Structure 1
Amino acid sequence: MGHPVDLALDSSGNVYINNNFPSPNFPVVQKFNSSFVQQAEWRGNGDFGNTASGPLGFGMNTGDDWFVADTDNNSVQKFSFTTGAWAYTITGAPTPFVSPKDVATETTGKFYVADTGNSRVVKFDSSGSQVWALLLPTVAAGTPTPPVGATPEPYGITVASDNTIYVADAGYHRILKYHANDDGLNPEASWGEFGSADSSTIPQFDSPQGMSIDSAGNIYVADTGNNRIQRFDQAGTLATREVWGSYGPQDGNFINPRNV
């Protein structure tokens, strides 16, 4: 394993690790069983629809089909769970992706791509056809005025069981929440500002890059620049917040955690 940046579990408890290798000769995705014995691997020089390069995001749907954000190739690739074979590649047309960083799926089979370089989130149906594209707002209710010169950078996405969408915006140091049945135009809620304080009237982040959500609806944020993990309820309530980690190589430490 080289530079692990994302992971997912299938319905059988197998673990899939996404490695951010710059060379296609190394495994891009590795599959392990629940005892962490490797079962399979997919390399970027032949197992993908094109030569995978610098992939940063990984997502899996309820049918255990999986998606890789092939970041340096500005594309997203889908693989079949049944055969493990490449299924198709999408490039974001009519507006091409620019450095897509993450993929997340909902229970209907639709999926979302964090098109980071274009400051947008794009929704697709299960066949890979675009449903809508959302430009992240420069100002959102519940968050302060963004830093001067900053641009929105949707970096991580997670989807709750009711298909509510959460986006980690590394550029504006915030979390955005979108309603499941919305058209993707306006966030239902947002929270966060730049900083590292553990106690603040507004949660503070430094370039949050990844998220996950548990069965109780708690949201876990990889606060990358602050070398820690933060937990919130679905409203981002500060009173429910918990924090783990600090910089370092020891147990309980993190060095730029990318996902959770």
Structure 2
Amino acid sequence: MINFTATTAVTTAVTTAVATATDTTSPGNLKWSTTATTVMGNGYGSDPDQLKYADGLFIEPKTQILYVADAANNRVQKRYPNGKIETAAGRPDGEGGSTPDKLTSPSGVFADESENVYVADLHNQRVQFWQKDAKSGKTVAGNGTTGSALNEFNSPIRVLLDSKKNIIVVDLQNQRVTQWSLPYDPTKSVGTLLAGGNGAGLNPYQLNFPVGLYFDEPNNILYIANDVSHSVTQWELGTYGTKSIYAGIPGRPGSSAAQLNGPEGITLDKYGNLYVADCMNNRIQMYCPNAVYGITIAGTGRMGNGSNEFYFPHDVAFDSELNLYVTDTYNFRIQKFERIK
């Protein structure tokens, strides 16, 4: 579910029963509070502490600064551990555009310890680099035009950097993930295909509107959430790398423990557990290594605005203490679930 500007509520209720994290033991024996506190988001708006359909979420490991792609405000906001909130990229007032000082529907964000940010600038078909305190950004991937050539994007929605500072981008409507090397040259730079590129489909070697990404660099594996096939693909990089469905049942959306419905953001913890923002099911699912069934660790499975509920969650992240953070997109807030064990 990737429409950031829709205002009509979905009327189909999710009626499945769900387990909580306190019902089971995972690698690391992890448990979280079942209710959250709001760490960002004071309703719908463009004030510094407000959000409009926030999407991608990232917590920088060393500084513990939280970054969120505030999509309909055309900006990236950052929250320091002391609670201070600032704009990291884009116009603070939310004005969008394609000039270097503006963004249009930014959807993914990655940051380094120096507070420089990389932004998947969805509707401008580019990835922008903003230095700390900069008033404008620089293009580091894509040429700003919509297309399927390897120097183009068709809706870049997630971005991350590996340890060699290669830029890895989820190219949503081109059904692929590409890698870009620095320095960027607008006349010469092209991406290298890492995953997908075989059209949309349900096979392990195909992506189907990829929206979430995690790179397990030590094992050279990409985890990719496919919105339309309702699954997470495990894509081993390399010429003969294997491709397999890691979570969900391709083409069969649902709310059982084995199913997903419109999965969005994903992440892994240090124990190898996979976490999925199961958007249309309004829950966060945890998959222990090699598990077939997910465990609901946050959300009730029903749409709502209570402290234990979501309205289309779009991304997940952890801080250094493994507290869980969730972009609760249509409630215009970021929720924190404290780790209790």
TM range (shorter): 0.7 to 0.9
**Higher strand residue share:** 1
Any idea what SS the aligned residue of 1:209 has? strand
Structure 1 pair 125–212 and aligned structure 2 pair: CA distance change class (3 A): same
Any idea what SS the aligned residue of 1:258 has? strand
Q: C-alpha distance in 1, partners of 2:287/2:228? A: 20
Alignment match, 1:177: 234
1:208 aligns to 2:263 (yes or no): yes
Alignment match, 1:98: 154
CA contact (8 A) 1:6 1:17 kept: yes
CA contact (8 A) 1:61 1:105 kept: no
* TM-align CA RMSD: 3.0
Alignment match, 1:111: 167
After TM superposition, give the deviation of residue 32 of structure 1 in Å: 1.8
Q: How does 1:70-109 map to 2 (within 5 A)?
A: 70-81=121-132, 86-91=137-142, 94-109=150-165
Structure 1 pair 257–184 and aligned structure 2 pair: CA distance change class (3 A): farther
Q: C-alpha distance in 1, partners of 2:240/2:167? A: 13
Q: Deviations for 1:76-128, whole angstroms, at most 9, x for unmatched residues?
A: 11223596862434216545211111112222222321111111111122435
Q: C-alpha distance in 2, partners of 1:183/1:124? A: 18
Amino acid at match of 2:311: I
Alignment match, 1:242: 295
Q: C-alpha distance in 2, partners of 1:107/1:84? A: 27
After TM superposition, give the deviation of residue 215 of structure 1 in Å: 2.0
Q: Deviations for 1:204-259, whole angstroms, at most 9, x for unmatched residues?
A: 11111111122222111011111111111344x125x3113122110111111011
Any idea what SS the aligned residue of 1:259 has? strand
1:5 aligns to 2:55 (yes or no): yes
1:197 aligns to 2:255 (yes or no): yes
Q: C-alpha distance in 2, partners of 1:115/1:9? A: 22
Q: Which moved more, 1:108-117 or 1:164-173?
A: 108-117
Amino acid at match of 1:59: F
Q: C-alpha distance in 1, partners of 2:156/2:288? A: 27
Please point out which of 47, 65, 76 is paired with 1:29.
Answer: 76
Structure 1 pair 164–82 and aligned structure 2 pair: CA distance change class (3 A): farther
Q: C-alpha distance in 2, partners of 1:17/1:75? A: 18
Please point out which of 288, 298, 302 is paired with 1:233.
Answer: 288
Q: How does 1:25-174 map to 2 (within 5 A)?
A: 26=73, 28-44=75-91, 49=100, 51-61=102-112, 65-81=116-132, 86-91=137-142, 94-128=150-184, 129=189, 130-135=191-196, 138-141=201-204, 152-162=208-218, 163-174=220-231
Please point out which of 214, 218, 223 is paired with 2:278.
Answer: 223
CA contact (8 A) 1:110 1:125 kept: yes
Structure 1 pair 256–154 and aligned structure 2 pair: CA distance change class (3 A): same
Structure 1 pair 155–167 and aligned structure 2 pair: CA distance change class (3 A): same
After TM superposition, give the deviation of residue 48 of structure 1 in Å: 6.6
TM-score, normalised to structure 1, is: 0.80
Amino acid at match of 1:49: P
Q: Deviations for 1:14-64, whole angstroms, at most 9, x for unmatched residues?
A: 22121012xxxx560122210221244433459972631111111235775
Structure 1 pair 63–40 and aligned structure 2 pair: CA distance change class (3 A): closer
Amino acid at match of 1:209: E
Q: C-alpha distance in 1, partners of 2:115/2:239? A: 26
Amino acid at match of 2:227: A
Instruction: Answer 1 or 2: higher relative contact order, Cα 8 Å, separation at least 6.
Output: 2
CA contact (8 A) 2:89 2:130 kept: no
Amino acid at match of 1:110: N
Q: C-alpha distance in 1, partners of 2:288/2:153? A: 31
How many residue pairs end up in the alignment?
A: 243
